Amino acid sequence: MSTADATRLPPGAALLVTGPLSSVRHWTRFLRSELSLIFLRWRNLALLAVLAVIPVLIGIALRLSAGEGRGGQGPAFISQVAGNGVFLALVSLTLLLTLVLPLAVAVVAGDSVAGEANHGTLRYLLTIPAGRTRLLGIKYAALVVFCVAACTVVTIAALIVGAILFPVGPVTLLSGTTISLGAGLLRLAFITLYVAAAMAALAAIGLAVSTFTEHPIGAIAAILVLAIASEVVDSVPQFASVHPYLPTHFWLSFDALLRSPVAWTDLAHGLLSYAVYVIIFGAIAWARFTTADVTS
């Protein structure tokens, strides 16, 4: 009853609505609602917990094997961890990028539209009306936030464990120069964001896949298969000509940030690749979602 009065404002009041402030507020309100659905879900919290626990396990394993002289083995940076705990974050990001980070992103991205369709909540969101383009935009924005959160969780957990188990100090870069701990942490922050950008590109692929099905599990599996297939092809030298076009090809290019001066072209290639993937798959998702019949 109380709201009925509010609708009887003078017609001129309508002119005030389209102001940018109110539209920004409605976007942030919807985004907050979307984020709370993602981050208050036990399954997603468990994924984030796994992302936090794995760096701990890696740290403990490296601490136990310290001094056993296993130089040259394993991923890059691994031999540096014993000398500087900051490198544990790089080792963790490198190892988690092969499966667990893409898995976490696939789960949340695959669920984004297909999960709503499966639940039946999609038809209610659309009749509210949330707006199909707007809903897709909000879904992707929330996925990007999740990607940043997932990568940040890995970095922070690794930094904490690294600081507890190993000495921490000025960072020696791959090019041999040493920078202060503060500058090193700043570069680590950029590396985390770079990895998050890679995951955001995967999330765009995932969002597109998610608009084609009502079965979130199917979408999640498809995204993972795509990511793994891309990694496999990327590791076969005979396919070198297609490597630069693979979505996973530039994932580990973040070591460009560990050189002095920073190898910007490598980074730029990676970011360009991600941007192209976001645009292409964003367009596919939009074309599909804005025309699809919602029969779930």
Partner 1 sequence: MSAASRAGEQRDEISFGRADDGPLTAEPGQRRAEAGREPAEAGQQPGDAGPAITTSGLAKRFRGGQLAVGGIDLAVPHGSVYGFLGPNGSGKTTTIRMLLGLVQPTSGSHTLLGVPMPAGTNTVLTRVGSLVEGPAFYSQLSGRANLARCDAADRTADPRTADARISEALDRVGLLAAARKHYRAYSLGMKQRLAIAAGLLRPRELLILDEPTNGLDPQGTREVRGLIREIAAAGTTVFVSSHLLAEVEQICTHVGVMRTGKLVFQGTLEELRGRGATRILIRTTEPEQASEILAGLGLQDIRVAGGEASAQLAGQAPEEVCKRLVYAGVPVAGLESPRSSLEDLFVELTGEGFDVDG
**106 to 145: interface string for partner 1, x by CB under 8 A:** -------------xxx-xxxxxxxxx--xx----------
Instruction: Kindly indicate which of the ranges 17-25, 47-55, 185-193, 232-240 contains the residues binding partner 1, using the contact rule CB under 8 A.
Output: 17-25
Tokens read off for 168: 């921490």
Element containing residue 179 per DSSP (H, E): strand 178-179
Can residue 20 be called a binding residue for partner 1 (CB under 8 A)? no
- The answer to whether residue 295 forms part of the interface with partner 1 (CB under 8 A) is yes
**Segment 160 to 179, residues that bind partner 1, using CB under 8 A:** none
C-alpha to C-alpha distance for 168 and 124, rounded to whole angstroms: 52
The first and second tokens of residue 269, run together, are 């290639």
Pick one of 68, 69, 72, 293: the residue that binds partner 1 (CB under 8 A): 293
Q: How remote is the C-alpha of 221 from its chain's centroid?
A: 17
23 touches partner 1 (CB under 8 A): yes
DSSP 173: P
Position among 7, 73, 238, 241 found at the interface with partner 1 (CB under 8 A): 7
Q: Give, in order, the Cα–Cα distances in Å from 140 to each of 47, 137, 184, 200, 207.
A: 19, 5, 31, 9, 7
Nearer to partner 1, 172 or 296 (CB): 296
DSSP, res 245: G
For the record, the structure tokens of 48 come out as: 């984030």
Neighbouring residues of 52: CB distance < 8 A, sequence distance ≥ 6? 153, 154, 156, 157
Give the three-state DSSP class for 171. strand
Site string for partner 1, 273-292 (x = CB under 8 A): ------------------x-
| Near partner 1 by CB under 8 A: residue from 14, 67, 71, 240 | 14
* Residue 203 Cβ vs partner 1, minimum distance, rounded to whole Å: 21
Given the rule CB under 8 A, which residues bind partner 1?
1-9, 11, 13-14, 16-19, 21-23, 25-27, 29-30, 32-33, 37, 40-42, 119-121, 123-131, 134-135, 291, 293-295
